[in-house]
Amino acid sequence: MTYENILLEKKNAIAYVTVNRPKVLNALNMATMEELRAAFTDIQSDASIRVAILTGAGEKAFVAGADIGELAKQDAVSGKEYGHRGQAVLDLIEHLGKPVIACINGFALGGGCELALACTMRLASDNAKLGQPEVKLGIIPGYGGTQRLSRLVGKGLAMQVVLAGEMITAQEAHRIGLVNEVTSAAELVPRAEAIAAKIVANAPLAVRYAMEAVNKGMEMTLAEGLFLEATLFGVCCATEDKKEGTAAFLEKRPAVFKGR
């Protein structure tokens, strides 16, 4: 597929996805969302790719928000569909089965913040600004912001971010648990690559099932989550990777995992 609004590059088992609309601060129109869907579907099916890094082109923005021109045209029926379509793309990213690391360089507002929230983890440059300013436009977050943000930082802090609609700094985002780490802009992608390299060295199926246990467990009671964890632990025990991993440990050698 030829992409007009994003860039997709693959190397060393890592896929690099870049929202590439710097003239409009990488705003998310529906065409861009559909290209993100295609790119992450490709990544999901590509066995050679183990981790994805998602960022925005230019120095000013990760994604500064949704396309306001498109939003202005929505009515009750089309707006609901608009939200569902965007949510489906972010659900794909969250449940990709492979870690997705968001590198937040500059503004991550509205749909941009929601895009980052759907990722497995978030790194931010020290000049990043994050927020959910939708209430300033007479709407609410529509790509999962009211749901993922509260699950990540807690109800009270999520309410403050969503209802005030104000931007917060990278340092404040780190304090409340919205981002994992804050680095300089120059170190942002290299730090993500360092984390990705550690993930790539681990067993692919174990990584996938660990993510599934965490993601699904967040929606369950503790007892249900523990049952899911034990079940997935059992599945891992039946894999070739488990045999290889335990054998390599006992033989004091690096493991060679095959994702089987």
> Catalytic one among 35, 134, 193, 229?
134
Is 134 noted as a catalytic residue in this protein?
yes
Query: How many angstroms separate the Cα of 17 from the Cα of each of 24, 38, 40, 98?
Result: 18, 11, 9, 14
Q: Is the separation of the CB atoms in 64 and 26 below 8 Å?
A: yes
> Catalytic one among 35, 114, 193, 229?
114
Distance CA 94, CA 99 (A): 8
Q: Residue 62: helix, strand or coil by DSSP?
A: strand
Is 114 noted as a catalytic residue in this protein?
yes
Among residues 162, 61, 158, which one has the least CA distance to residue 112? Answer: 61
Among residues 102, 104, 90, 18, which one has the least CA distance to residue 61? Answer: 104
Q: Give the Cα-Cα-Cα angle 210, 117, 7 (nearest 5 degrees).
A: 95
Query: How many angstroms separate the Cα of 142 from the Cα of each of 13, 27, 55, 115?
Result: 32, 15, 21, 11
The set of catalytic residues is 114, 134
